[in-house]
Structure 1
Amino acid sequence: MNPETAAALGELWRDDYPWEFITRLTEIGDRMGGSPGERRAADLVAEGFERAGAREVEVESFEMTRWSRGDAELAVTDPVERSFETIALPYSPAGEVSGELVDAGHGTPDELDAVDVAGNIVVASTTTPEGSRFVHRMEKFGHAAAAGAEAFVFRNHKAGQLPPTGSLRFDREAAIPGVGVSLETGDWLTDYADRGGRAHLRVDAETTPGTSHNTHGQLGPDTDDEILVVGHHDAHDIAEGALDNGCGITVVVAAAHLLSKLDLDTRVRVAGVGCEETGLLGADALAERLDLDSVRAVVNVDGAGRFRDLRALTHGSETMAEIANAVEDEANQPISITEQVHPFSDHWPLLKRGVPALQLHSESGERGRGWGHTHADTRDKVDDRNLREHAMLVALLVREIAARDGIPRPSAESVAGNLRSGDYEEGMKAAGIWPESWD
C-alpha cells in the first residue's frame, strides 16, 4: 500500500463525520419512500457528496406509487376473543377479512402447499430453516395469495414484542392484506391455529401516486466508462432505519470522501437512491437514466457497516470474487464471499440488464434480518468503527474495480441459470419479479 493511500485511510479512521452523518439521518424520523423525510435524506446525501468533493451533485425526482400506513387491528374471535398488536405491511390493501387461522411454519413453498390456505388467514415466520435457501417475504406472500389465502400474518422470529414490516409487492397494491406481529403474538396465533381458531383482520392504508428522489455525483477522471456505487437512503417508517440502510448510505458517503483522495482509473458515480424498501424503484429509475453500456460495474452498499465483518455477494462473477480476495489480502481484513445471485436489492435493476454487480453486506452471525424492519432499528445498534472500516474497504474495492479493463458482463442466460440453480425462479414468479423475457 502506497503512503498516499495509507494516509487517506488514516484520515478516515479519525474522521467523526460518519457518526455525525448517521446521527443527522436517523434524526429525520420517517424516511419512507415518497415522504418529506425521504426528500430530506436525499438532500443530506447531496451535502455529504459535496463535502467529499464530488462534482455535478444533483437530486433528481422520479414518479412512484406511494403507500401510506394507517391503522391495523387483529383479533382472535374463536376459541376466545382477544386483540393483538399488529402493523400493516407496505402495499397491503385496505379491507377487513375473517377466517380460520392456519399455521404455515416458516412459510416455505412446501409448507404452504402442505396446508389448506384457501379462504383462511395464514401465519408464517419471517425466517427460514437453517441449511435451506432464504425464502423472501414476497415469495411467501405471493405463494399464499395465489393459493387463495384471505390474508397473511408474518410473525417475527426475534423476541422483544417487535412486529416486523416489509413490502408485499413492488410498486403496486397487493392482492390481499398482509400484516406483521411479534414473536410473542405469533406464538399465541399458532397455538390458536392448532385449536382451530378464527380471527378477524382490519387494515386501513392508502396507495396513491407519489414522488421520490435520487442523489448522485461524480468522482475521479472524466472517462467514458464509470463505476456506479449506490446505497439506499430510504427506510421503513416505523423506526429510524439506522441499520437498514442508514449504515449502508453512511458507508457510501464516507467512501466517497476517501475515493476523492485516491488515484482512480475510471470515473465513479456515487448515488443515494430512494424507495429500495418499496421495490428498488430509485435504482430502477437511475438505471433507466444512465447509459448502461458505459457502466462497467455497480457496487451496491446494502448491509455494510452494520456488523463487524464485510460480506461480498458477487452474483456469479469470478472477477468480482478475485477483486474481493485481492482487497482482503491488501487490507488484511476478512471479506467473505457469496456467489449466489440475490435479486432483492438495488443492484438488481442493473444486473438483470447485464451490468456486473457486487453487493456489500456484513456478517451478523444470525439468520434473517435481526433488528431490521422493526421499531428497534435505531442508532444505538450502530458501531461507528464498522462504518469507518467498511468505508475503507468499499473504497479499496471500488478502486480495484476501476483499475480493471475488462469485467465480463453477465448474460440474461447466466443470471437466470444462477437463480434457477439456487431454486429462486418459482419464488420470483410468485413475487412477480421474474423478467418475462427470460421465459
Structure 2
Amino acid sequence: MDEDTDGQTRNDATVHARNDEDDHATNLTAVALGEAWRDDYPWEFLTQLTEIENRLGGHPGERRAAELVAEGFERAGAREVTVDPFEMQRWTRGDAELGVTDPVERTFETIALPYSPAGEVHGELVDVGHGTPEEIDEQDVAGKVVVASTTTPKGSRFIHRMEKFGYAAAAGAEAFVFRNHVPGQLPPTGSLRFDAKAAIPGVGVSKETGDWLTDYAERGATVSLQVTADTDPGTSHNTHALLGPDTEEEVLVVGHHDAHDIAEGALDNGCGITTVVTAAQLLAELDLDTKVRVVGVGCEEIGLLGADALASELDLDTVRAVVNVDGAGRFRDMRAHTHGSETMKELVQAVSDQANQPIATNEQVHPFSDQWPFLKRGVPVLQLHSESGERGRGWGHTHADTRDKVDDRNLREHAMLTALLVQEVASTDEIPRQSAENVADNLRDGDFEEGMRAAGIWPDAWA
C-alpha cells in the first residue's frame, strides 16, 4: 500500500468513526425522546408538588418542594445532588379586611400582597385605571387609597405590579389595592418589593370587587383597610445537581419551585419546575459537550432571591449561559425570551427547525424572573415560557392556579424541547456576553427604566 493510499485509508476511517459517533448520538436522542412521550413521571411529579401546602418562600412547604426536586434529580441519575440553604426575609400572611365606610357600609373579600406591612388605613378611594405613571399623575393620590388594574393598556409597554405600587407610594398614597382583570371572584396576589417590607399596605381584590370599587371611587367613597402580616428572618433553599461531563465551564438550568401560598401553584411555576426535572431525565441520556448544572431555586415569587443567592455563589466566569424555565409547560406552544442575544435567537431557531416544533421568540430584556440576577452581571440568558394567546397571568397568582389547568402532554413536550435547547447551548462554544451598558440600553428602549426605578430594582451601578 503506497503512502497516499494509506493516508486516504486513515482519513476514511476517521470520517467513518465520526459518522458512527454522530449516528450513535442521534440514536440516543431519538430513543430518549421516544420514551418521554409515554412517561407518566411528569404528571406524578406535578401531583406530588401541588399536594404540598404553602410553598411560599421560607415556609416548610417550600423546603419540602426543594427536597422533592432533589428526589427528581436523583431519579434522573444526576450527581452531587444537594439542598442548600440561604437566608432571606420571610413574609407570613395574616388577615386582611377591606370595607367601604361612606356613602354606604359594606365589606369585600381581599388578600394581602407579600411584603405588605401590617397596618390600618382609613381614607378616600381613588381609581387610577391601569395604574400607569401618567394615570397616577393625573390624580391626587396623596393620603388616599389607590385602586389599580392588574393589566395594562393595549399597545403599551408592560407595567409590572411593583412599578404601579412603587409609583403610587412615592406619590403619597396611603394604601394600594390591586384589582384583577380576570373574572371569577379571584383576588390576585404578588410581591410588592424584593426581600423587604413595603412602605404602605397593599392588597388584592377580584375583578368583580374592583368594579364596585371603581363605582365607589367615582362617588367619592371612603374605605377602611386592615392588614395583619409579619416579616422576619427566614431560610429558603436551592436544590443543585450536575449532569454531563466534568468540564470547567457549565450551562446553568434553573426553575423556581416556590409558589404563592393562596393556591397550588400548578401553572406558576409547577409546570416550569416539572419541565426542569423532566428535562434532567432526558439530559442524563443525551450526549452533552459541557457540564450542565440543574437547580430548583426558591423565593422567585418574593424577589428572585434564590437566583440572586445562586448568582452570588457561583463563579459566573465559568457559566456559559443560563436557561431559566419559568412559564414553560403551561400551554401548547413554547416561547423563548432571548434578552437581546442574537446567538440565542439563532440557537432557538435551529432547535425549532430540527424538532419541527414552533418556538416563538421575544428579544426584549425584562427583569422580572430568575434570569435577571445573571443577566445584569453579563451572563447570556434564555427564558423558556409558553404562549397563552392572552396578555397577563390568567389563572396565575390566584386561587385558581390548580393542577386541573395543566395538560401533561405540554409538560412532556416542553421538557423535550428544553433538553434539546440545553444540549444546543452546551455544544455552542461561544455565546457572546452583553455589557451592562447594552443591557441597560435595551431596558431603556423597552421603557423599563422608569418602572424599575419605581420598584427599587434598577441597579445602583447603572445610575
1:431 deviates by 0.3
Q: Distance in 2 between matches of 1:255 and 1:321?
A: 20
Which amino acid counterpart does residue 312 of structure 1 have in structure 2? Answer: A
**Partner residue of 1:225?**
249
Structure 2 counterpart of 1:142:
166
1:237 maps to what in 2? 261
Residue from 288, 310, 313 that aligns with 1:264? 288
Q: 2:391 aligns with which of 367, 370, 377?
A: 367
Q: Does 1:57 align with 2:68?
A: no
What's 1:330 paired with? Answer: 354
- Is the counterpart of residue 437 in structure 1 residue 461 in structure 2? yes
Match in the other structure for 1:254: 278
1:67-78, aligned counterparts within 5 Å?
Answer: 67-78=91-102
Q: Deviations over 1:284-324 (max 9, x none)?
A: 11111100000000000000000110000000000000011
Match 2:330 to one of 291, 299, 306: 306
Moved more, 125-134 or 262-271: 125-134
1:111 aligns with 2:124: no
Q: CA deviation at 1:174?
A: 0.2
Partner of 1:380: 404
The equivalent of 1:409 in structure 2 is 433
* Aligned residue in 2 for 1:178: 202
Counterpart of 2:190 in structure 1 is 166
**Structure 2 counterpart of 1:147, one-letter code:** A
Residue in 1 that maps onto 2:17: none
Rounded to whole Å, the distance in 1 between the matches of 2:278 and 2:305 is 24
* CA distance in structure 1 between the aligned counterparts of 2:389 and 2:409, rounded to whole angstroms: 18
Structure 2 residue 233 is the aligned partner of structure 1 residue 209:
yes
Check if 1:190 corresponds to 2:190: no
Alpha-carbon shift at residue 3 of structure 1 (Å) = 2.3
Partner of residue 44, structure 1 = 68
Q: Kindly provide the CA deviation profile for residues 374-410 of structure 1, in whole angstroms up to 9, marking residues without a partner as x.
A: 0000000000000000000000000000111110011
- 2:124 maps to what in 1? 100
Counterparts of 2:366 and 2:246, CA distance in 1: 31
Instruction: Map Cα deviations across residues 241-288 of structure 1 (whole Å, 9 max, x no partner).
Output: 000000000000000000011100000000000000000000011111
Tell me the distance in 2 between the aligned counterparts of 1:372 and 1:129. Answer: 19
Compare CA radii of gyration and give the structure with the larger one.
Answer: 2
- Aligned AA for 1:369? R
1:42-101 Cα offsets, whole Å, 9 max, x none, are 000000001111100000000000000000000001111100000000000000001111
State the Cα distance separating 1:151 from its structure 2 match. Answer: 0.4
Q: Which amino acid aligns with 2:355?
A: A
TM-score, normalised on structure 2?
0.94
Give the aligned partner of residue 7 of structure 2. none
How many pairs align?
439
Task: Write the deviation string for residues 163-219 of structure 1: whole angstroms up to 9, x where unpaired.
Answer: 000000000000000000000000000000011111010000000000000001000
**1:421 maps to what in 2?**
445
- For 1:297, the equivalent position in structure 2 comes to 321
Q: Distance in 2 between matches of 1:301 and 1:317?
A: 17
Secondary structure of the equivalent of 1:29? coil
**Segments ≥4 residues shifted beyond 4 Å:** none
What stretches of structure 2 of length at least 5 have no aligned partner? Answer: 1-22
**SS in structure 2 at match of 1:371:** coil
| Separation (CA, whole Å) in 2 of partners of 1:11 and 1:132 | 44
Q: Which amino acid letter does the alignment assign opposite residue 237 of structure 1?
A: D
| AA in 2 matched with 1:114 | E
Q: Structure 1 residue 114: deviation in Å?
A: 1.0
The alignment status of 1:21 with 2:48, answered yes or no, reads no
Give distance in 1, aligned partners of 2:387 and 2:218.
36
Counterpart for residue 150 of structure 2:
126
Q: Which residue, out of 76, 79, 89, partners 2:103? A: 79
2: CA distance, partners of 1:3 / 1:113: 61
Report the 3-state secondary structure (helix = DSSP H, G, I; strand = E; otherwise coil) of the residue aligned with 2:73.
helix
**What CA distance in whole angstroms lies between the structure 1 residues aligned with 2:335 and 2:133?**
28
Secondary structure of the residue aligned to 1:73 is strand
Q: Per-residue displacement from partner, 1:307-352 (whole Å, max 9, x unpaired)?
A: 1100000000000000110011001111001011010100101110
Cα separation, 2, equivalents of 1:133 and 1:373: 21
Structure 2: distance between partners of 1:29 and 1:305? 21
Match of 1:353 in 2: 377
Q: Distance in 2 between matches of 1:132 and 1:323?
A: 29
Question: Aligned match of 2:341 in 295, 313, 317?
Answer: 317
Q: 1:40 aligns to what SS in structure 2?
A: helix
Note the C-alpha offset of 1:29.
1.6
SS in 1 for 2:116: coil
DSSP-derived class of the 2:71 partner? helix
Opposite residue 14 of structure 1, the aligned amino acid is R
Structure 1 residue runs without a partner (length 5+): none
What is the one-letter code of the residue matched to 1:315?
H
Equivalent residue of 2:246, what SS? coil
Aligned position for 1:200: 224
Q: Secondary structure at the match of 1:370?
A: coil
Partners of 1:179 and 1:316 lie apart in 2 by 35
1:132 partner letter:
S
2:375 is aligned with what amino acid?
Answer: L
Name the aligned partner's letter for residue 459 of structure 2.
P
User: Counterparts of 1:78 and 1:327 in 2: how far apart (Å)?
Assistant: 60
